[in-house]
């Protein structure tokens, strides 16, 4: 009876050996710098494109405002340029405070930017970190409360978003699973089925949370299709510029409209969170497989180190020279299942540098399964 192989003694942890670090390798400095350079290049290219597209429009609007101002002063010579400037400033400040400039309309005179529905929607933009900016806090008490409200609400919403995203993704995957079963019954290749299921997952989500809300906002808000889909994408990516906000128009008086919009935001963000989670899981699986393949010692390197003997099914024994370094291993790697050395008359000590039977080294077999192919017995151990 052979003794069980002894485990090597545990080595004391070295400095910087990974204590206190997250599992997995940290990104290399060169990779991090390359990624930073790529992001900076992306930012600069975006800045140049936005400048080329938007700056001429800004200059044109400034010229038109100057022309309107001069036309007003010519039509009203009793008003000085300084008084007109002060009046424009007061109007701009009032608009910034949320005042309604349409003071002559009695039907909308009671509209407030801080009714219950609007305040609910504003609170929702805080915890979702969208922050449109069309409505802002003007009082010190409101700003102080917002600080603590955001510190508590953002993590709370993150937990809710993870739960809803998991449940929503599971429901969609179950539905797509039934479709996959139909495809498999039709003998569709599994690789194609996986691709089709991923495409269906994206298409169903885009239909429910992007295209359908786009047409609803076109009808309710009176926006064009480009304006509506622009608002949808800016919202669900949490960019939230605030130039287009659902329910911000004074003509929208429904108290339940903006809360319903917020629930759409919740479901849309949860869907995209589930998509990102799925992509992240797939990348982790690919990374683990890559590390496993890279970390596995190739059989060619072991043979180069120790040599081997070849035993054919006919019983003929011959020597096999070590593989050259870098030669690719053949497929079908497995541990050889052969008779003990003494049964075949093989001296296990004939190979220079061969490990002892108790060394615990296990070498894979590179032999194919075809008849007449060699069955490699690298070192004659007691194998059954």
Q: Is residue 37 part of a domain?
A: no
305 and 285 in a common domain: no
Q: Is residue 38 part of a domain?
A: no
pTM, two decimals, is 0.62
120-139 per-residue burial string, b: 16 or more CB within 10 A, e: under 16: ebbebbbbbebbbebbbeee
Which two structure tokens, joined as six digits, stand for 73? 């002063």
Q: Is residue 102 part of a domain?
A: no
Give the SS3 label for residue 376: strand
Cα dihedral 250→255→256→262 (10° resolution):
60
Q: Are 382 and 336 in contact (CB under 8 A)?
A: no
239 and 142 in a common domain: yes
Domain stop point among 274, 294, 314: 294
**Which of 48-52, 93-97, 101-105, 368-372 comes out lowest in average pLDDT?**
368-372
Q: Is residue 266 part of a domain?
A: yes
Section 75-99 average pLDDT: 83
Determine the structural domain holding residue 309 and report its residue range: 299-384
Cα separation, 347 vs 319, in Å, equals 12
Q: Is residue 219 part of a domain?
A: yes
Phi-psi region of 26 (alpha: psi -120 to 50; beta: other; left: phi over 0): beta
Q: Are 267 and 252 in contact (CB under 8 A)?
A: no
357 and 236 in a common domain: no
* pLDDT bucket at 174, cuts 50 / 70 / 90: confident
pLDDT of residue 291: 66
Q: Is residue 305 part of a domain?
A: yes
Section 198-202 average pLDDT: 85
* Residue 334: DSSP 8-state: B
Domain stop point among 249, 268, 294: 294
Cα separation, 84 vs 90, in Å, equals 10
CB atoms within 10 A of CB 23: 5
pLDDT of residue 296: 52
Domain stop point among 247, 268, 294: 294
The string of pLDDT tens digits covering residues 290-306 is: 666 665 554 444 443 44
144 and 229 in a common domain: yes
CATH of the domain at 246: 1.10.287.70
Give me the percent of the chain exceeding a pLDDT of 90.
25
Cα-based angle 279, 282, 283 (whole degrees, multiple of 5): 85
Number of helices (H) and strands (E), helices first, in the chain?
10, 3
Q: Using the Cα atoms of residue 82, residue 86, residue 91 and residue 95 in order, give the sign of their dihedral.
A: positive
The string of pLDDT tens digits covering residues 271-286 is: 988 888 777 777 777 7
**Residues ≥6 apart with Cβ < 8 Å to 242:** 131, 132, 133, 134
Closest CA to 232 of 248, 202, 261, 210: 210
320 and 240 in a common domain: no
Which two structure tokens, joined as six digits, stand for 105? 């309309």
């Amino acid at each position: 009876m052979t003794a069980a192989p002894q485990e090597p003694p545990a080595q004391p942890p070295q400095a910087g050996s990974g204590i206190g670090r997250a599992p997995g390798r940290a990104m290399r400095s060169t990779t991090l710098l390359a990624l930073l350079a790529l992001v900076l290049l992306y930012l600069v290219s975006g800045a140049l494109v936005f400048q080329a597209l938007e700056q001429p429009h800004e200059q044109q609007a400034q010229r038109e405002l100057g022309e309107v101002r001069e036309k007003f002063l010519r039509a009203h010579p009793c008003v000085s340029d300084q008084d007109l400037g002060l009046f424009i400033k007061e109007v701009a400040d009032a608009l910034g405070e949320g005042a309604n400039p349409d003071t002559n309309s009695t039907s909308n005179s009671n509209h407030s930017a801080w009714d219950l529905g609007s305040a609910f929607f504003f609170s929702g933009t805080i915890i979702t970190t969208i922050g449109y900016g069309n409505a802002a806090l003007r009082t010190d008490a409101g700003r102080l409360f917002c600080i603590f409200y955001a510190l508590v609400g953002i993590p709370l919403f993150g937990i809710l978003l993870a739960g809803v995203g998991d449940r929503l993704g599971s429901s969609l995957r179950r539905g797509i699973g039934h479709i996959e079963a139909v495809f498999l019954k039709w003998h569709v290749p599994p690789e194609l089925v996986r691709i089709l299921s991923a495409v269906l997952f994206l298409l169903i989500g885009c239909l429910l949370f992007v295209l359908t809300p786009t047409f609803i906002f076109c009808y309710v808000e009176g926006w064009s299709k480009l304006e509506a889909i622009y608002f949808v994408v800016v919202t669900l990516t949490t960019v939230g510029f605030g130039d287009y906000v659902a329910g911000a128009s004074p003509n929208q008086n429904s108290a339940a409209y903006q809360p319903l919009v917020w629930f759409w935001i919740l479901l849309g963000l949860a869907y995209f969170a589930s998509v990102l989670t799925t992509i992240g899981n797939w990348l982790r699986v690919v990374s683990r497989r890559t590390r496993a393949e890279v970390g596995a010692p190739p059989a060619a390197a072991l043979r180069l180190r120790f040599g081997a003997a070849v035993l054919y099914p006919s019983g003929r024994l011959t020597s096999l020279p070590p593989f050259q370094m870098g030669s690719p291993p053949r497929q079908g790697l497995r541990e050889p299942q052969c008779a003990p050395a003494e049964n075949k008359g093989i001296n296990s000590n004939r190979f220079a540098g061969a490990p002892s039977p108790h060394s615990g080294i296990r070498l894979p077999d590179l032999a194919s399964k075809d008849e007449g192919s060699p069955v490699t017995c690298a070192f004659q151990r007691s194998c059954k």
